[in-house]
């Protein structure tokens, strides 16, 4: 046993040291006293990994070839074992019988197919590392070669044809063909990227469970119960509304959806049902201490937790285990529209560009119903009419507040579609849908960068990373070499800061509805006395909790609870997910972000570090969420660094970012209209709420944010999207008895070229013309008409002053 612990200690410490050395020869400290200052107390500099000779292609090819039948045999044997758990009833086809099951565990068949290849690649990598004695610090370097016998199995080898997309005004539904040089960047069902290499116990795929000093890491549940203690009422953020939290979840579901392991026939894994859960490779069950302050009263010792599915890297070379994003990586409204054609089509009416709606006479204009309860919601037995809902992201039903935001943006899409159709009745269903989707996606981006992020990051960081939208004109900052792909450190740690913002209750009809009672429960959405309106008003009227180490007990004890005492613990899940993904350690990310020491309150740092044997073991989520906030923001500098870099990439690496120019661009008129968008205006247009804060993310008690009336909020100005002729302009002044007026043909995309027939100009006689002069005037008019007809394509954008100049020049050259 001691030998095994020493083995783990040596390799874990070596792995950390060499990971740091790969990033500008960063250092790791030998800590005597567990203080935060010790993060930067230099004892020894880690040397760079030695330059080892790259493996010869023939050697690697033979090793891979030898490994395939062995690994495939192991996978088949493991599948038989997994099936035995299903056959014995441990894993459930009916997921409602599974410990705190939620929609986050609904994994698509496509993700499972990709994971089968990912499992093979991980197995081959481990085999090669062992047989070829590859040091863990150079695994990706040594194995970063395309291998023909693996290429044919690569799920990312079919590169899409982007010929039409290159000049298209619209994004593809799956995010492909955004970057024309790297057509799979940001596409759904592609891997997350990483800022730093993964930290796995074996260097390849085993979840991090071992201290750098050897022995086990502290239990995730223990860290949660002792460090992430209950957030109390006085721990609120005085300036921020609860909407800040909920929009953050809505935004998160736009850009990321992890793919989690499933059992035989897609069954939900019950990792606590086996006497030895650690023997199941798809499981990473959370152990609950016998003296747990809450769960012990229910004699509960295990919390279900399944590992994220493995995937090959995007280039399908061998290397460390990666995880899969089932959604598009872009801010494009995929949580509304879906990230694949099948989902997208299923949500459309295919008439007038609109999305399907549900509800009934008493609760109309809701999302379409999930009549089969695929989301496995908790539905009231007394009312068969109450169902959960369908949207572009299956997690829509996680809580009633999230359902409400989804409903509002579905309604906004349909309002825009109706406005576009009324203005341009020649548009097809597809054009209306695409244009409305494009507008809603632009609105989401504008709200994110204009309203949401400034409250999170503060002014200085917004400026540092160029995140503020322009007041006018085009951005023109697209960088084709910037990869927008969501980073694992962002998805599995930093952007989970919002979990700390959740209040114990959801304000509803001026009453407090416990948050645990709205998980997977859509009943109040159908409430004729409140519903979406009351929930949304409650979000803007109530406070958000502070971002700190504390978290609502409704998340740390009652997450997706179906039976008393058997809910989940989101803080423990976040810690465990980070270890599952091999997320780098807090000190590594702190160093790479150039964050100084003393970013925690001393009491907070002491409470956290006392739970670990060595500060170098500390998990990124726990340490990052508990840092002191940056000036003007609500999160600490390490999370601010990770989040700002991610949103910089999502802005500069998105060819369809709403402020960009190019074939896909809005006109400047349209762009100015988009810039008028606020979340409060979207709420006003799609609810019956009378008054909302001017900025929905800030409490109206703040002097900079008073309430506004929804009566004065109108729809967007659809005339900016009108195709065909504009109204006639004013007549020019009369020059030698002739005057001209003009109109504009709007033929910008998506206008068809046949919307305009006739001439850009109109000419008439003016003034008192003597009969004797009439033939000469009429001849000049025809002569001017002939000139304008041959040149009118040059005059498609012309004002009265230009028309006057044309007329003056003509008359000067052809005096009457």
Q: Burial letters for 247-277: b for 16+ Cβ neighbours within 10 Å, e otherwise?
A: bbbbbbbbbbbbbbbbbbeebbbbbbbbeeb
Residue 791 domain-assigned (yes or no): yes
Which sign, positive or negative, has the C-alpha torsion 236, 238, 242, 246?
Answer: negative
248: helix, strand or coil: helix
Which sign, positive or negative, has the C-alpha torsion 201, 203, 204, 208?
Answer: positive
The answer to whether 739 and 764 have CB atoms below 8 angstroms apart is yes
Q: Burial letters for 126-163: b for 16+ Cβ neighbours within 10 Å, e otherwise?
A: bbbbeeeebbbbbbbbbbeeebeebeeebbbeeeeebe
- Measure the CA–CA gap between 216 and 586, rounded to whole angstroms: 17
Beta strands in 182-326 (DSSP E): 190-191, 236-241, 286-287, 302-303, 310-311, 322-325
The answer to whether 327 and 334 have CB atoms below 8 angstroms apart is yes
Containing structural domain, residue 796? 723-813
Tell me whether residue 47 is exposed, middle or buried, using C-beta atoms within 10 angstroms of its C-beta: 0 to 12, 13 to 18, 19 or more: exposed
299 beta partners: none
- Measure the CA–CA gap between 689 and 534, rounded to whole angstroms: 8
Instruction: List the catalytic residues.
Output: 253
765 beta partners: 738
Residue 414 domain-assigned (yes or no): no
Please tell me the total count of domains within the chain.
1
Residue 638, pLDDT score: 98
The answer to whether 366 and 396 have CB atoms below 8 angstroms apart is no
The answer to whether 224 and 571 have CB atoms below 8 angstroms apart is yes
Residue 48, pLDDT score: 35
Reading the block at residue 772, the tokens are 């004797």
- Measure the CA–CA gap between 603 and 36, rounded to whole angstroms: 11
Tell me how many degrees the CA angle 184-65-202 measures, rounded to the nearest 5. 70
Tell whether residue 499 is among the known ligand binding residues. yes
Name every residue whose Cβ is closer than 8 Å to that of residue 735 and which is 6 or more positions away in sequence: 804, 807, 808, 811
Which sign, positive or negative, has the C-alpha torsion 217, 220, 225, 231?
Answer: positive
Residue 788: CATH number of its domain:
2.20.100.10
Write the secondary structure of 298-360 as one string of H (helix), E (strand) and C (coil): HCCCEECCECECEECCCCCCCCCCEEEECCCCCCCCHHHHCCCHHHHHHCECCCCCCECCECC
Residue 99, pLDDT score: 62
The bridge status of strand 691-693 relative to strand 707-709 is: antiparallel
DSSP of 528-570: TTSHHHHHHHHHHHSEEEPSSS-B-HHHHT-BT-SSTT--B-H
Residue 743 domain-assigned (yes or no): yes
Tell me whether residue 119 is exposed, middle or buried, using C-beta atoms within 10 angstroms of its C-beta: 0 to 12, 13 to 18, 19 or more: buried
Residue 710 domain-assigned (yes or no): no
- Measure the CA–CA gap between 91 and 451, rounded to whole angstroms: 44
Residue 584 domain-assigned (yes or no): no
Residue with tokens 């959604």: 327
- Measure the CA–CA gap between 483 and 648, rounded to whole angstroms: 10
The dihedrals phi and psi of 315, each to the nearest 5 degrees, come to -90, 0
Long-range contacts, 457-464 (Cβ 8 Å, 24+):
457/630, 457/632, 457/633, 457/635, 457/640, 457/643, 457/644, 458/629, 458/630, 458/631, 458/632, 458/633, 458/640, 459/631, 459/632, 460/630, 460/631, 460/632, 461/630, 461/633, 461/640, 461/644, 462/644, 464/644
Distances (CA, A) of 411 to 43, 47, 406, 489, 694: 60, 58, 9, 34, 20
The answer to whether 327 and 391 have CB atoms below 8 angstroms apart is no
The answer to whether 116 and 74 have CB atoms below 8 angstroms apart is no
Residue 654 domain-assigned (yes or no): no
Write the secondary structure of 391-440 as one string of H (helix), E (strand) and C (coil): CCCHHHHHEHHHHHHHHHHHHHHHHHHHHHHHHCCCCCHHHHHHHHHHHH
- Measure the CA–CA gap between 499 and 572, rounded to whole angstroms: 12
- Measure the CA–CA gap between 775 and 765, rounded to whole angstroms: 12
3-state helix, strand, coil in the chain (%, to 5): 45, 10, 45
Residue 733 domain-assigned (yes or no): yes
- Measure the CA–CA gap between 607 and 225, rounded to whole angstroms: 12
Residue 24, pLDDT score: 38
- Measure the CA–CA gap between 705 and 455, rounded to whole angstroms: 13
322 beta partners: 311
Reading the block at residue 801, the tokens are 């002053």
Name every residue whose Cβ is closer than 8 Å to that of residue 791 and which is 6 or more positions away in sequence: none
Name every residue whose Cβ is closer than 8 Å to that of residue 24 and which is 6 or more positions away in sequence: none
The dihedrals phi and psi of 366, each to the nearest 5 degrees, come to -100, 175
**Average confidence (pLDDT) per 10 residues, the chain, 816 residues:** 40 40 36 39 29 65 96 95 91 67 81 97 96 91 88 92 88 97 98 97 96 96 97 88 97 98 91 81 95 96 96 96 98 98 98 94 91 85 91 95 98 97 92 97 98 98 98 96 98 98 92 91 90 96 96 95 92 98 97 93 97 97 98 98 98 98 93 98 97 93 84 92 84 88 76 73 87 84 82 59 75 68
Comparing CA positions, the residue from 593, 430, 561 lying closest to residue 24 is 593
- Cα-to-chain-centroid distance, residue 365: 26
Name every residue whose Cβ is closer than 8 Å to that of residue 102 and which is 6 or more positions away in sequence: 395, 398, 519, 520, 559, 560, 568
Residue 284 domain-assigned (yes or no): no
Residue 167, pLDDT score: 81
């Amino acid at each position: 046993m001691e030998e095994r612990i020493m083995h783990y200690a040596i390799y874990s410490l070596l792995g950390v040291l060499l990971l740091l050395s790969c990033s500008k020869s960063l250092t790791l400290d030998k800590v005597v006293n567990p203080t935060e200052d010790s993060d930067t107390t230099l004892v020894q500099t880690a040397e760079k990994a030695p330059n080892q000779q790259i493996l010869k292609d023939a050697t690697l090819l033979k090793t891979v070839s030898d490994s395939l039948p062995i690994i495939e045999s192991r996978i088949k044997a493991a599948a038989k074992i997994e099936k035995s758990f299903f056959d014995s009833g441990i894993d459930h086809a009916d997921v409602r019988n599974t410990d705190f099951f939620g929609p986050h565990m609904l994994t698509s068949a496509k993700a499972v197919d990709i994971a089968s290849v990912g499992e093979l690649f991980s197995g081959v990598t481990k085999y090669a590392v062992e047989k070829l004695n590859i040091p863990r610090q150079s695994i990706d370097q040594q194995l970063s070669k395309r291998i023909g016998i693996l290429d044919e199995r690569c799920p990312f080898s079919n590169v899409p044809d982007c010929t039409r997309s290159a000049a298209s005004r619209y994004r593809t539904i799956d995010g492909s063909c955004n970057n024309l040089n790297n057509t799979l960047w940001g596409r759904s069902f592609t891997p997350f990227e990483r800022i730093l290499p993964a930290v796995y116990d074996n260097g390849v795929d085993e979840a991090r469970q071992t201290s750098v000093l050897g022995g086990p890491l502290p239990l995730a549940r223990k860290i949660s119960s002792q460090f992430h203690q209950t957030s109390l009422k006085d721990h609120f953020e005085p300036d921020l509304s609860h909407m800040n939290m909920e929009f953050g979840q809505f935004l998160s579901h736009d850009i990321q959806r992890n793919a989690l392991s499933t059992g035989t026939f897609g069954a939900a894994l019950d990792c606590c049902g086996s006497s030895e859960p650690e023997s199941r490779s798809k499981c990473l069950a959370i152990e609950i201490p016998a003296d747990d302050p809450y769960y012990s009263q229910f004699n509960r010792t295990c919390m279900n937790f399944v590992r994220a599915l493995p995937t090959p890297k995007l280039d399908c070379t061998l290397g460390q285990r990666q995880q899969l994003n089932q959604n598009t990586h872009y801010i494009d409204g995929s949580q509304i529209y879906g990230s694949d054609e099948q989902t997208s089509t299923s949500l459309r009416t295919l008439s007038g560009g609109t999305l399907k709606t549900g509800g009934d006479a008493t609760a109309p204009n809701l999302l379409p119903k999930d009549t089969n309860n695929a989301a496995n919601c908790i539905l009231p037995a007394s009312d068969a009419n109450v169902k959960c809902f369908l949207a572009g992201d299956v997690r829509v039903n996680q809580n009633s507040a999230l359902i409400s935001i989804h409903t509002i943006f579905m309604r906004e899409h349909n309002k825009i579609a109706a406005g576009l159709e009324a203005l341009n009745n020649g548009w097809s269903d597809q054009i209306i849908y695409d244009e409305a989707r494009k507008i809603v996606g632009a609105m989401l981006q504008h709200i994110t960068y204009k309203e949401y992020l400034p409250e999170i990051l503060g002014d200085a960081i917004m400026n540092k990373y160029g995140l503020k939208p322009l007041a006018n004109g085009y951005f023109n900052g697209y960088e084709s070499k910037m990869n927008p792909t969501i980073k694992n450190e962002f998805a599995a740690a930093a952007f989970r800061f919002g979990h700390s913002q959740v209040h114990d209750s959801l304000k509803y009809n001026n009453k407090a509805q416990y948050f645990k009672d709205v998980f997977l429960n859509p009943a109040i959405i159908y409430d004729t006395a409140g519903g979406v309106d009351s929930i949304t008003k409650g979000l803007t009227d109530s406070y958000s909790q502070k971002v700190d180490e504390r978290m609502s007990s409704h998340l740390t004890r009652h997450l997706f609870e179906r039976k008393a005492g058997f809910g989940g613990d989101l803080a423990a899940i976040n810690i465990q997910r980070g270890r599952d993904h091999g997320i780098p350690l807090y000190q590594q990310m702190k160093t790479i972000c150039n964050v100084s020491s003393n970013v925690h309150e001393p009491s907070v740092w002491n409470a956290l570090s006392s739970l670990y044997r060595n500060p170098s073991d500390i998990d990124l989520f726990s340490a990052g969420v508990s840092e002191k906030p940056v000036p003007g923001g609500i999160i600490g500098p390490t999370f601010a660094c990770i989040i700002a870099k991610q949103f910089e990439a999502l802005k500069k690496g998105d060819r369809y970012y709403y402020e960009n120019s190019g074939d896909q661009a809005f006109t400047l008129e349209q762009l100015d209209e988009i810039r008028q968008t606020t979340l409060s205006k979207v709420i006003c247009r799609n609810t019956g709420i009378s008054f909302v804060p001017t900025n929905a993310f800030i409490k109206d008690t703040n002097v900079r944010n008073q309430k506004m009336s929804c009566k004065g909020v109108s729809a967007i100005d659809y005339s900016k999207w009108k195709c065909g002729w504009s109204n006639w302009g004013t007549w020019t002044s009369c020059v030698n008895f002739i005057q001209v007026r003009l109109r504009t043909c709007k033929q910008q995309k998506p206008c068809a070229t046949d919307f305009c027939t006739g001439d850009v100009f109109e000419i008439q006689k003016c003034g008192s013309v003597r009969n004797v002069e009439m033939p000469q005037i009429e001849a000049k008019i025809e002569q001017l008409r002939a000139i304008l007809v041959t040149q009118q394509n040059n005059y498609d954008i012309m004002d009265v002053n230009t028309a006057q100049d044309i007329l003056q020049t003509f008359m000067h050259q052809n005096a009457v």
